[in-house]
Every structure is written in structure tokens, then in C-alpha cells.
Amino acid sequence: MASLRKIGNESSIWKRIWRNRSLYLLLLPAAVLMICFTYVPMYGITIAFKDFSPTLGITASPWAGFKYFQQYFNSYNFWNTIRNTLVISIYSVVVTFPLPIVLALLCNQMTHKGFKRFFQVSTYLPHFISTVVMCGMIILFLSPSSGIIPKMFGALGIDIGNLMGEPAAFPHIYVWTEVWQHCGWDSIMYIAALSAVDPSLYEAATVDGASQWQKMIKIDIPMLLPTATVLFILRVGSIMSVGFEKVYLLQTTLNLTTSEIISTYVYKMGLISNQYSLSAAINLFNNIINFILLMSVNLVSKKMSDTSLV
Amino acid sequence: MTKTATAGRKVQRTASDKVFNFFLYLICGIGAFIVLYPMYFIIIASFSDPTAVSSGNVGFFPVRPTLAGYERLLGYASIWRGYRNTILYTVLGTAMMLAVNIPAAYALSRKDLVGRRIINLLLIFPMFFSGGLIPTYMTVRNFGLVDNFWVMIIPFSVVTYYVIVARTFFESSLPDGIWEAAQIDGCGNLRFFFSFVLPLSKAIIAVIALWAAVGIWNQYFNALIYLRSDYLQPLQIILRSILISNQNMASMTTGSAAQEAQELAELIKYAVIVVSSAPIMCMYPFVQKYFNQGVMIGAMKG
């Protein structure tokens, strides 16, 4: 490295670029694709401020100022979509953030190698089910006429009705199926952090007469804190961006009051109703909030713990 | 966990530890059951008599085993067309992702690359801010890629996360010394990349190939947005119409009474879930080692 730096100092920047020209060749395909399909669309954001008409194109369409933002802010769907997005995502964080930590702690306490492996492999498995199949399973299992879950409750004398058509049930269905599908997979990171704990800590604790429970509370949990902090920051930063796929698939006309989130609304306004400018404006509004959230969370974490994401 | 630690714990196991262990295995046993049973249920339901399934009589074993659901699926051409499309998209898309992301990651891992910081920044920025659905859609349309086979392979093949993971791998596991030695022997960057870097990085290539393949196999968003024609639709879109929108069922269940038709439709749903998820599920136990490795490499970034 030292020799490289010396060479670097001697020659001009162009010489250094020229010497590594083939490295830029390796970068080229990714750069071209990224410019075409990630950076060029950023210019298209201007349609949020324009009365976009497909015949005129982006550049020639007349400016509309904040018209479409106002249209969104004044619509009934403004508070509705924001509230639904926040309810689903905050509920998700509260439930799906701590559970993988608990899972990793439990996993780490298992001394029976065979069962531990079985437990890990089986809890990872649902992660590989596609979103479409997952939602298909949810709908099948909850079907009021033939689903296994209403049947099970029915056997206990409880009629749970059609949960998919029940607005109040939507966030619960979304979050707890998310736990079922991803909790095991999300624990991998914590299990990795725990496997890096120095075994002599456990030995010393054992000599001091600590029980397994005490070791878990006093050694394992503090060891997981740094990893947990970073992952928590990431989660909080993306609180305004609930994934489109699963919510869209689970939406029915009956549960729309709680299931219409910003991303599904953007899709419907844009590609189904063809209101390009309105859709782009809503999307931009959401992106800006996301951006501010991420940046401030990043700043806070930089101040608090020296762990930042950028 | 070393052997001594485990042995030490076994010797000193107290009454409270016994209680702890009892609850530990009990809770985890119940947890594993909750995770596995729904998947197991799907499999046995797909082989059972549809009337027994819909009346709630199927518990742990198939009831009056039948292959009726699978037989119906065999005659359902759009599933197999979807299957073929998905396989094509997965194979070509994975190859494309490797070809684009791995070389870029290597170039960015080199500390003597001028402009490395700014390129990294430009790579990460879209994770924080993006054009959004409509501007991206309009761009893709301008390239003539809407309702085009290649939209599933080319435009979205740069995945920032894959580049970061591969870059971290190159930075941490390729010793600086090899490049310096190769350079002294007159080896250029390209030859070095193809004859030294790639063979030394089989692990990370496997990880990213697997991630990419599973991701492409399972995703439906791009197809929903960009594809129109039936003959281009991947499996997940066909699944959506069968499982979620309840379409195309009537044509498959003609000549039966309504109740029976409804039950058969449900049976077909169970069968189609099994058929579409089987490849990924069967592959998973054999390659899970690589997946875990990948998550760890990704975590080192932290």
C-alpha cells in the first residue's frame, strides 16, 4: 500500500486514472445502467410540478407549481394514507424488531446441537416463500367458508367471521404474518453476533455460579446492543416506506380504509388512473419525508454511538 | 461456542437451569411447530380430498389421497408458460446481475481508483432518494422496454446492496499483496480480475447468485408494472391471478356443481402453491450455508 501511495503522489491524477483505465471499464456497465434507470428518472420528478400531458412530453408540459401537492394534501386520502402507513410500519417495528433478538437469545442457549440446527433451518424456511404465495396462503387460511383458522376457532365456539374483510384486522394480519415469515431469518445477524462472544466470559460466569438465565441477561443482551442499535436506526429511518407488494396483494375493497398506504395509492393514481403528475407528487412528498427521516436518524446515531450508515 | 464452555455448563447444571431448559425447549418446540405446520398443511391439503379440506377434517395426514389438484394443474397451460418464463428470467437475470455488479464491486474495492468516494456516494444515494414509480416507468417506456422481455433482465440489474456486500468481501479477503505482485509481473487489471480475483471469490459469487436467483424467482412487482402481454408473464403473476384474484378458475371447473367447483378451486390453489414453491424450498437446505455467509459479510459493513 505504501508503495502505491508513493507512486500516486508522484504522478498526476490523469496518469493515475489512465493507469487504471480498465477498472473504469469494469465499472462501465453498472454506471450506464444506473444513469439510465436511476438517475434519469430523477429528472422526471419535475412532472410533479407540471401539468403533464403525454403528447407534450416532460419538458414541454406547462408548470403547475404545487397544484398537485395541494390536491393531495386536501384530499380525504391524505390523512388516511399517512395514518395507515404509519400504523402499519410502527406496529411492524414494535413487533418485528425485538422478536428476532429474543429468538437469537433462545437459540444461543440451546446446547442440543441437533435440535438447534433443526430449529434454525425451520425458522429460516418461510423467508423463501414468495410474497404472492404468502398472501395466497393467508387468504386461503382465513377464508370464512373453508379456511383452517376460522375452522379452528369455530371448534372452540368462536366465530371470527371474514378477517380479510375486517378493516380493524388488517394491521394485525400484516404484522403477525410478517413475524411468521421473517422472524427466523432476521435473527441470523444476532446469532452471528452471539457466536462471536468470547467463551471465556461464559466460563468465568459459570465459575461465579451464574445460572443460564443470568448469563443470558448479563452477557448475551449487552453483546447484542451494538448490532441492535444499528438495525434499529435502519428500521426507524424507513418508517414511511412500507413495502408495496404485500399490502397491495392483501387489499380487498372491504379493508381499504386501513390498508390503503402511500405506495399503493401512488400506484393506483399513477398507473391505474393515469394521473401521472398527482402520483409523482405524492411519491415525491413521501420520498422527501423518508430522506429527512433517514438523514436525521443517521445524524443522531453519529452523535450517539459513532455508528453511522453513510 | 467451544467444547469447554459447553462441558462446564453441563457439570454445573442447577435446578434453576433445568427449569430454564425445560421452558427453552418447550417454547422453541412450539415455535418450530407454528412455523412448520402451515407449510406442512399446504402439502397434505394439496393431496387430500377437497371436501375433507374445506370441512376442516384434514389435520396431520392426507385424507382420501388424490392427485386431482395436480392433474388439473397439468392441463393449465399458462402456469407452465409462467414457469418457463420465470426460469428464463431467473437464469438470464442472475447472469446479468453477476456480470454487472461483481466487476463494479471489484473496481470500487480498489483503493487506488481515482474518484472512488464520489462513485460510492452516487451508488448509495438512490437508497435514500429515488425518482419514484411514475418517472421510472416513463423512462423505461422511453427506452421501449414496456411489455418487452428484456425489462425483466436489464434495467434493474444494478443492486446497490449486492455491490456493497461484494465490495466488502473484496476489501477484506483479497490480500493487497497479490495485486502488487501481479503488477510487478506485468499483469494488467483486466487479466488480474479474470484470472485471480474471480477464482478467489467463488464464495461471494455463489452468495450473490443465490440471492439474485431467489429474488427474481419470487418478485412480481416489475412484471406487474411493466409487462402487459400474457405470453411474457412470469409465474408469480399467474399465481396472483389464481391465488388472490380468483381468476381463470371457472374454465377449469366446468361441469361440476357450484360447491364442488369451489372446493376443487381451493384444491388447485394448494397444489399450485406446492408446485411453485418446491424448487426454492428443495434447494434451500443445501445452500443455506451460503445464504448465512452472505448475511455475515453484509453485516461486516455495519
> Residue ranges of the domains in chain B?
3-74+248-300, 77-232
Q: A52-56, A236-240, A262-266: which has the highest mean pLDDT?
A: A262-266
Look at A307 and B281 and tell me if their CB atoms are within 8 Å.
no
Look at A130 and B217 and tell me if their CB atoms are within 8 Å.
yes
Number of residue pairs across A and B with CB atoms under 8 Å?
A: 295
Which member of A20, A211, A287 has the closest CB to residue B16? A211
Q: What confidence tens digit (pLDDT) does each residue in A170-212 have?
A: 999 999 999 999 998 888 888 888 887 888 888 888 888 888 8
CA atoms within 13 A on the CB side of A70: 6
Looking at chain A, which residue has its C-alpha nearest residue B238? A132
Looking at chain B, which residue has its C-alpha nearest residue A8? B112
Residue A242 CA to residue B184 CA, distance in Å, equals 52
Looking at chain A, which residue has its C-alpha nearest residue B143? A36
Which member of A119, A206, A230 has the closest CB to residue B12? A206
Report pLDDT for B39. Answer: 92
Q: What residues 246-305 of chain A have any CB closer than 8 A to a CB of chain B?
A: 249, 266-267, 270-271, 276, 279-280, 283-284, 287, 290-291, 294-295
The x, y and z cell numbers of residue A248, run together, are 397491495
**Architecture of the domain delimited by A68-305:** Orthogonal Bundle (1.10)
Look at B17 and A121 and tell me if their CB atoms are within 8 Å.
no
- Assign A222 a pLDDT band (cuts: 50, 70, 90): confident
The x, y and z cell numbers of residue B273, run together, are 402453491
- Assign A145 a pLDDT band (cuts: 50, 70, 90): confident
Q: How far is B2 from chain A (nearest CA, A)?
A: 7
Least confident of A51-55, A141-145, A279-283, B253-257: B253-257
Report pLDDT for B1. Answer: 41
Mean pLDDT per segment of 10 residues, for chain B of length 302 residues? 46 74 90 92 88 78 81 85 94 96 93 89 86 90 93 93 88 82 85 90 86 90 92 92 69 57 82 89 77 65 43
The neighbouring-strand residues paired with A63 are: A50
What value of ipTM does the predicted structure carry?
0.84
| Mean per-residue pLDDT, A250-255 | 87
- Assign A8 a pLDDT band (cuts: 50, 70, 90): very low
Using the CB atoms, write b or e for B119-134: b if 16+ within 10 Å.
Answer: bbeebebbebbbbbbb
Report pLDDT for A295. Answer: 83
CA atoms within 13 A on the CB side of B22: 6
The x, y and z cell numbers of residue A264, run together, are 399503493
Residue B141 CA to residue A222 CA, distance in Å, equals 51
Which amino acid belongs to residue B211?
Answer: W
- Assign A310 a pLDDT band (cuts: 50, 70, 90): very low
Which member of A13, A131, A143 has the closest CB to residue B218? A131
Q: What are the Cα distances from residue A232, in Å, to A167, A229, A238, A307, B291?
A: 28, 5, 10, 12, 22
| Mean per-residue pLDDT, A110-137 | 89
Q: How far is A242 from chain B (nearest CA, A)?
A: 14
Residues of A in contact with B42 (CB under 8 A): 137
Other C-beta atoms lying within 10 Å of the C-beta of residue A113: 10
Q: Report domain B77-232's class.
A: mainly alpha
Residue A222 CA to residue B208 CA, distance in Å, equals 32
Other C-beta atoms lying within 10 Å of the C-beta of residue B21: 16
Q: Which of B134, B143, B148 to mutate to test the interface with A (most CBs of A within 10 A)?
A: B134
Look at A130 and B219 and tell me if their CB atoms are within 8 Å.
yes
Other C-beta atoms lying within 10 Å of the C-beta of residue B64: 12
Reported pTM: 0.85
Report pLDDT for B144. Answer: 93
Sign of the CA dihedral running B196, B199, B205, B207: negative
Mean pLDDT of the residues in chain A: 85
- Residues with Cβ within 8 Å of residue A65, at least 6 apart in sequence: A49
